[in-house]
Amino acid sequence: MKYITLGEGELSGVVFDLGEFLTYLEQLTDSRKARGKRYSLAIILVMIMLAKLAQNNKPAQVAKWIRLRHTELTRALNLKRPTVPSLNTIRRALADVIDIEELEQLLRRFLYQKYGGRQTVLVVLDGKTLRGTIPVGQTQGVHLLAAYLPGEGIVLMQVDVDKKENGISAAPRVLGRLDLRNKVVCGDAMFAQRELSVQILAQGGDYIWFVKDNQPRLRTDVEQFFTPPRQSAGWHIPQLAQE
């Protein structure tokens, strides 16, 4: 893997070790037969990732972006042949070859070990609807719930929230796949639920919830902890014994 050296002041951003990431991707299970296989699954995924970072989301767009940069990519990735994966190869890899759960676990381990999680304590839960996914005439599109490290800007885990559920029911699936030992999970008022709080504690973590008027009784109970006790007439606070 070759490196690009940036001069001082040329560009500000995040440095990502693509070579190390490629090594991690080589651990993925490749279900394809050896015969006729020109590119490793790791090489295909790296190219797809680079195209995605360049705002190419559809397979045809990804394939075109890769094809237009085949010279640079084959040289940077030290490929033996001066060719790049075709559209069909990319589609087949995404649809049939990649085990999504295995890939998510590997990505989570890579980002957690290399770019965060060692000193980061706070893990934030947040949900977003993907732009451009709301069909005409409807009000709901693809909605994702993510757990991420705000300090590093790294998503540890995210799931697709089904139209029949919401962030409350999806949160246990997200947190259940994370190591929460010595972590503090934070989320808005929607996540202030007893079962989710118990799950976080059981996984060795702690939590901070924002409590609002959507749960009036809970808010009243919490406010009591911060309200000074009322003193009735005739009662006084005893003085401490003098040593």
- Domain borders along the chain are 18-98, 118-224
Tens digits of per-residue pLDDT, 203-232? Answer: 999 999 988 888 889 888 888 888 887 777
Q: Residue 56 class from Cβ within 10 Å (0-12 exposed, 13-18 middle, 19+ buried)? A: middle
Q: Say if residue 2's pLDDT is above 50.
A: no
Mean pLDDT estimate for the chain: 81
Report yes or no: 181 and 119 within 8 Å, Cβ to Cβ: no
Percent share of the chain, pLDDT over 70: 79
Q: Is the pLDDT of residue 8 over 70?
A: no
Q: How confident is the model at residue 65 (pLDDT cuts 50, 70, 90)?
A: very high
CA-angle at 149, arms to 144 and 152, nearest 5°: 120
User: Model's pTM, two decimal places?
Assistant: 0.57
Residue type, 212: K
> For residues 233 and 46, which has the higher predicted lDDT (pLDDT)?
46
DSSP percent split of the chain into helix, strand, coil, nearest 5: 40, 15, 50
Whether 175 contacts 147, CB under 8 Å: yes
Q: Residue 14: which pLDDT band, with cuts at 50, 70 and 90?
A: low
CATH architecture for residues 118-224: 2-Layer Sandwich (3.30)
**Strand, coil or helix: what is 73?**
helix
Task: For residue 173, give the amino acid letter.
Answer: R
pLDDT over 80 (residue 31) = yes
Q: What is the pLDDT of residues 100-111, one digit of tens each?
A: 888 888 887 787
